Amino acid sequence: MYGCSDEPWNNPYPYNQSRSNIYYDVFEERPKHLDPISAYSANEYVFLGQIYEPPLQYHFLKRPYELTLLTATKIPEVEYFDTDGNQLAADAPAEMVHRAIYRITIRPGILFQPHPAFAKDEAGNYRYHHLSKENIARVNTLADFQETGTRELTAEDYLYQIKRFAHPGVHSPVAGLQGKYILGLQELSEQLAEEHADNQHEDGYIDLREYDLEGVKILDRYTYEVILKEKYPQFIYWLSMPFFAPMPWEADRFYSQYGMKDKNIVLNWYPVGTGPYMLIENNPNRRMVLERNPNFRGETFPQTGEEEDVVNGFLRDAGQTMPFIDKAIYSLEVENIPAWNKFLQGYYDVSDIQSDSFDQAVQFNAQGGAELTEEMQAKNIRLLTAVTTSIFYMGFNMLDEVAGGDSEQARLLRRAISIVVDYDEYISIFANGRGMPAQGPLPPGIFGHMEGEAGTNHYVYQWQDGRTVRRSVKEARDLMVRAGYPNGRDSASGRALILYLDTPAAGPGTKALFDWYRKQFAKLGINLVIRATDYNRFQEKMIKGTAQIFVWGWNADYPDPENFMFLLYGPNAKATRNGENAANYQNPEFDQLFNQMKSMANGPERQVVLDEMIEIVRKDAPWIWGFHPVGFSLHHGWYSNAKPNLMSNNTLKYKRIDPDSRYEMRKKWNQPVLWPVLLLSVLLIISIIPAWFSYKRRERSAAL
Amino acid sequence: MINYILRRIIYAIPILIGVNIITFVLFFVVNTPDEMARMHLGQKHVTLEAIDKWKSERGYDKPVVWNTAADSMGKFTDTIFFNKSIRLFVFDFGQSDNGRDIGYDISQRMWPSLAITVPSLLLGLLAYISFALILAFFRATYIDIWGVVICVIMMSISSMFYIIGGQFVISKLLHLVPISGYDSGFEAIKFVALPVLVGLIGSIGSSTRWYRTIFLEEMHKDFVRTARAKGLSEKVVLFRHVLRNGLIPILTGVVVVLPMLFIGSLITESFFAIPGLGSYTINAIQSQDFSIVRSMVYLGSVLYIIGLILTDVSYTIADPRIRLE
């Protein structure tokens, strides 16, 4: 079979796909949720982002990240009202705002993907909404339903999805957060929980259309308003996330039928959207397949971007109708080595760079810049780097008696440790240089982040000759003396200072890291004890607030400083409020500024407040600021429009593949090499010859 | 024999109960339902309400083994232990913590496992027996000595080396088969070829040595000496007498692993991206899906017991002198 074709033998795909306009990628872990109300992980958004369409999206090319239209006709402008119903100015103080109203108008003519939930019979009744147990017993997958239908997207579909936050049978990780802001959502949640047993249909379906939600008003077929209980400017970012994508009631009705769940035919498994792609195969044991949605309205590639986008070719498709790719196949690859080798063979279009293949792919030039190795350049592989909107830090538990607290002694101790824990070195050793030392909580690309001297954390670094230089160990030791720990000994008791780092990391690979941590603390004479434990125990310690020092990280939900500063906001303390403030940091001045900053629009005034906040936390040093990881990704030359966009999750529609070029390269790179097999066979035959003669000799030999 | 088999099945019940209890206890010692909920709900914005809801939806909000609030039998049946473990005895695996039907997943994923393990077993038997016979035939010659040395070297090398080395040489350098992946039908052949070959090479050292020992033992028995004394050719002695009698311990050794073929191989499936039950178990352990892990442990125990019973039965078939009482 192989010999009859000129296809490479090691091609893992069917040969009829070779010249097809298909994008190939990997997924490492099966997505837990494909229901947009529940999903909140990057590996889920890879799929959901292409299927569901919230009203807004991030501009593909512009930086800093900017919201633009998806299904909405214009960016919603918020209107504020006081308790008497009087409209307030856009910059009205938060305490005066009683209601904030976002009015969203969507485009007419948008259609849902073909789906059996919309199929109707000749009489106009839904064909699959009242299936008998026998009918359901006969189906195993969604594809077993022969008929499909569609209908136009309306504002009601957005309302239905927002009501699903309150559905007692659906878990949304942000339901509590949204309930805090959207008028009446919390009340609806309580009402539904109460009436769950009485008001549902016999098959378990709760028709949310029968319930009113005070905080969402339908103005006409294409317009709806979301009413918030207070000023919350970050709400607009949520309108670009799948949580706020439309959900047709027909889908909920269809999937809620008895027996569907037993067959795994659920919304969490088979999404229903209006986006450019639809999920046609969901086999997380092997592959997930997205295919072009035939009902997709078409969307044009952005016509504007950044200056260098023209040079980099990212505007070559400006004004063209998207999507460009017909199908996307994501294959399960649990191990890195096979995935990496298949990328090099041309069977995946893009790849991350894992530590074990980093040296093969990337080298650093004399200026410290990352560039591809000759091997990668010979294959016309391209490298893209981007600082992620995330932070990886080492935190002090502020409830701890030694390392935490608001005393000057503890503050100086933390600042001394911040100097000696050399994250520049960490990045070099453990992250292959893929990181940018953090000067505070805000990563680049987030409003409030400052570059240069203005952005330097002067408690840890100095600005010298146009660059940041880490303060010396001697300065850190001086701080230790001032803190009452000369040479790492408590001057009061004379005892050596012992600190504890709690970490869920374990295994032989972490030994070097643990040694490095100990070495950093030893610069001050501090004996660091690593308490490595499993993930669950570690979580338990964090929740109870019993860890002393820990390592943590955060990835932005949306590009607003509030999404990072709230990690240090007192009322969000993890130990007392189960919030995201893992260090349990509390500073009334910071908290007051946070409340002020979160409702301000980006501008010089907000920058001033942010600068004050950053100065407070740099001084208090509840975190050693760690670093902002830099994402390195590779792609082949036949893959274009690959500009990294770390906020968007719906970027597949922008990508383009040249299948003919890929086909030729795959053939060139994967010609079967047969001579070693032939050589081995010949050697085997040669080795058998003396054995054969020996056998014949024995046969002929006589017994004694 | 039927009485014997029935007795063995009855003996199996307390063993399975013990396995069930140990699995349950171990998992609950390591993980509380709260921790499982946190693991599944992710890192961000996990509220106490969400944890309670997760537990309630999956029945983890009930008492562990004894429900004092329930009536009569409910005290025992309305508990986590009954719902999560006792139902396994009727092969009701229930749903995974992610809401998937475990029974359906097992029925789907056992075929890729079998696609690897069955050819590995059959081809392996053929290869190991052939090599062992050659070594036994050339006993005490340079072929035997070097054969044993190579076997010892091969059995000393980690299976991981064979997997990574096989992928590197066969797929990356020679471009003969895909490096990983799986497909159904005839397309599966090109994906299973490498894992089968790697599995075969990885076990050739230990298996060949073991079989060689068996054959050598047979070759020193009286009936072989008699056969030679009768003037039978070495070929006839080897295949008709030594091989036949040597196959008895080999076959019984094979029968015991037959049911376990369904379970697949944890490492091989993971490295070759084979969507079988081995990778299913590994993924479940990594994601702390207790429901899947207990199901797979239980299934493994049942299959192992079946394997042992089949071994006993196979003795009577292979050796007429043996009677099961």
Contact B41 A694 (CB under 8 A): no
Percent of chain A with pLDDT over 90: 77
What pLDDT is recorded for position A199?
47
List all residues of chain B from 206 to 225 with a beta carbon under 8 Å from chain A: none
Query: How high does pLDDT run on average in chain B?
Result: 87
What pLDDT is recorded for position A609?
97
Question: Residue A264 is nearest to which of B41, B101, B235, comparing CB atoms?
Answer: B101
Question: Residue A171 is nearest to which of B53, B109, B280, comparing CB atoms?
Answer: B53
In chain B, whose CA is at the least distance from the CA of A3?
B176
Q: What's the pLDDT tens digit per position in A261-302?
A: 888 899 999 999 999 999 999 888 889 999 999 999 999 999
Cα distances (angstroms) measured from residue A660 to each of A25, A314, A329, A657, A664: 18, 21, 18, 9, 6
What pLDDT is recorded for position B213?
93
B243-257 and B188-219 helices, crossing angle to 10°: 130
Return the residue in B43, B279, B282 with the most chain A beta carbons within 10 A, the one to mutate for interface testing.
B43
Question: What are the DSSP E strand ranges found in A190-311?
Answer: 216-220, 223-228, 277-283, 287-292, 299-300
Q: How is the beta sheet containing A22-27 ordered, strand by strand?
A: A22-27, A327-332, A287-292, A277-283
Closest CA of chain B from A30, distance in Å: 9
* Boundaries of every domain in chain A: 22-311, 396-630
Q: What's the pLDDT tens digit per position in B216-252?
A: 999 889 999 999 888 888 888 888 889 988 888 888 8
What is the arithmetic mean of pLDDT over A328-336?
92
What pLDDT is recorded for position B66?
84
Please, what is the Cα angle at B263 between B257 and B267, to 5 degrees?
Answer: 105
- Min mean pLDDT across A266-280, A662-676, B177-191 is at B177-191
Question: Residue B273 is nearest to which of A11, A333, A677, comparing CB atoms?
Answer: A333
B188-219 and B159-166 helices, crossing angle to 10°: 140
Question: Residue A285 is nearest to which of B53, B101, B275, comparing CB atoms?
Answer: B275
Phi first, then psi, for residue A209 (nearest 5°) are -65, -25
Please measure the distance between the N-terminal and C-terminal CA atoms of chain A and give it in whole angstroms: 55
pLDDT-derived band at B325 (thresholds 50, 70, 90) equals low
A161, pLDDT greater than 90: yes
Whole-angstrom distance, CA of residue A275 vs CA of residue A638: 25
User: Tokens for B203?
Assistant: 């076990």
List all residues of chain B from 289 to 318 with a beta carbon under 8 Å from chain A: none
> Under 8 Å CB-to-CB from A624, ≥6 apart: which residues?
A393, A394, A395, A396, A414, A417, A418, A421, A423
Write down the H helix ranges in A421-502.
Answer: 423-430, 473-483
In chain B, whose CA is at the least distance from the CA of A44?
B42
User: Tokens for A654?
Assistant: 């922008």
Contact A333 B138 (CB under 8 A): no
Question: Residue B275 is nearest to which of A332, A338, A677, comparing CB atoms?
Answer: A332
Return the residue in B51, B170, B174, B194 with the most chain A beta carbons within 10 A, the one to mutate for interface testing.
B174
Q: What's the pLDDT tens digit per position in A229-246?
A: 999 999 999 999 999 999
Give yes or no for B2 touching A (CB within 8 A). Answer: no
Contact B187 A14 (CB under 8 A): yes
CATH of domain B102-318: 1.10.3720.10
pLDDT-derived band at A534 (thresholds 50, 70, 90) equals confident
Chain B residues whose beta carbon lies within 8 Å of the beta carbon of residue A11:
178
Chain A residues whose beta carbon lies within 8 Å of the beta carbon of residue B109:
285
Phi first, then psi, for residue A257 (nearest 5°) are -65, 145
Chain B residues whose beta carbon lies within 8 Å of the beta carbon of residue A283:
275
B65, pLDDT greater than 70: yes
Buried/exposed code over B192-225 (b: 16+ C-beta within 10 A; e: otherwise): bebbbbbbbbbbbbebbbbbbebbbebbeeeebe
Give yes or no for B233 touching A (CB within 8 A). Answer: yes
Return the residue in A4, A10, A27 with the most chain B beta carbons within 10 A, the one to mutate for interface testing.
A10
In chain A, whose CA is at the least distance from the CA of B184?
A286
Whole-angstrom distance, CA of residue B281 vs CA of residue B113: 12
3-state helix, strand, coil in chain A (%, to 5): 35, 20, 45
Contact B279 A11 (CB under 8 A): no
Buried/exposed code over A613-646 (b: 16+ C-beta within 10 A; e: otherwise): bbeebbebbbbbbbbbbbebebbbebbbbbbebb
Whole-angstrom distance, CA of residue A414 vs CA of residue A419: 9
Closest CA of chain A from B52, distance in Å: 11
Question: Residue A32 is nearest to which of B31, B40, B48, comparing CB atoms?
Answer: B40
Cα distances (angstroms) measured from residue B118 to each of A296, A634, B238, B246: 46, 39, 27, 22
Contact A10 B171 (CB under 8 A): yes
Phi first, then psi, for residue A63 (nearest 5°) are -135, 140
Residue in this structure with the two tokens 């010949």, named with its chain if needed: A682
Closest CA of chain B from A58, distance in Å: 22
Contact B275 A286 (CB under 8 A): yes
Query: How high does pLDDT run on average in chain A?
Result: 92
Interface pTM, i.e. ipTM:
0.84
What is the arithmetic mean of pLDDT over B286-312?
87
Closest CA of chain A from B248, distance in Å: 26
Please, what is the Cα angle at A340 between A334 and A342, to 5 degrees?
Answer: 95
What pLDDT is recorded for position A1?
47
Question: Residue B31 is nearest to which of A10, A536, A670, comparing CB atoms?
Answer: A536
- Residue A372's beta-bridge partner residues? A362
Secondary element (H or E) of residue A67: strand A67-69
Closest CA of chain B from A262, distance in Å: 6
Helix H, strand E, coil C: the string for A549-587 is EEEEEEECCCCCCHHHHHHHCHHHEHHHHCCCECCCCCC
Closest CA of chain A from B281, distance in Å: 12
Across the A:B interface, residue pairs with CB atoms under 8 Å apart total 152
Closest CA to A432 of A516, A385, A364: A364
Contact B99 A268 (CB under 8 A): yes
What pLDDT is recorded for position A173?
86
The ranges of chain B annotated as CATH 1.10.3720.10 are 102-318
Give yes or no for B181 touching A (CB within 8 A). Answer: yes
Give yes or no for a contact between A114 and A279, defined as CB atoms under 8 angstroms apart: no
Return the residue in A24, A286, A539 with the most chain B beta carbons within 10 A, the one to mutate for interface testing.
A286
User: Tokens for A224?
Assistant: 């709806």
Give yes or no for a contact between A62 and A305, defined as CB atoms under 8 angstroms apart: yes
Q: What's the pLDDT tens digit per position in B98-143?
A: 777 888 889 989 999 999 999 999 999 999 999 999 999 888 888 8
A111, pLDDT greater than 50: yes
Q: What's the pLDDT tens digit per position in B18-55?
A: 988 888 888 777 777 887 887 777 767 777 777 887 88
Give yes or no for B141 touching A (CB within 8 A). Answer: yes
What is the arithmetic mean of pLDDT over A193-212?
76
Compare A24 and A687 and report the one with higher pLDDT.
Answer: A24
Give yes or no for B42 touching A (CB within 8 A). Answer: yes
Chain B residues whose beta carbon lies within 8 Å of the beta carbon of residue A574:
none
Closest CA to A162 of A255, A101, A231, A242: A242
Whole-angstrom distance, CA of residue A230 vs CA of residue A96: 9
| CATH pick for A396-630 out of 1.10.3210.10, 3.30.2130.30, 3.10.105.10, 3.40.718.10 | 3.10.105.10
Chain A residues whose beta carbon lies within 8 Å of the beta carbon of residue B31:
536
Q: What's the pLDDT tens digit per position in A347-393?
A: 999 999 988 889 999 998 877 788 999 999 999 999 999 999 999 99
In chain A, whose CA is at the least distance from the CA of B35?
A536
Domain covering A22-311: architecture = Alpha-Beta Complex (3.90)
User: Tokens for B204?
Assistant: 């050739």
Closest CA of chain A from B155, distance in Å: 21
Return the residue in B163, B171, B225 with the most chain A beta carbons within 10 A, the one to mutate for interface testing.
B171
Closest CA of chain A from B193, distance in Å: 11
Question: Residue A338 is nearest to which of B141, B228, B273, comparing CB atoms?
Answer: B273
Contact B176 A177 (CB under 8 A): no
Closest CA of chain B from A315, distance in Å: 36
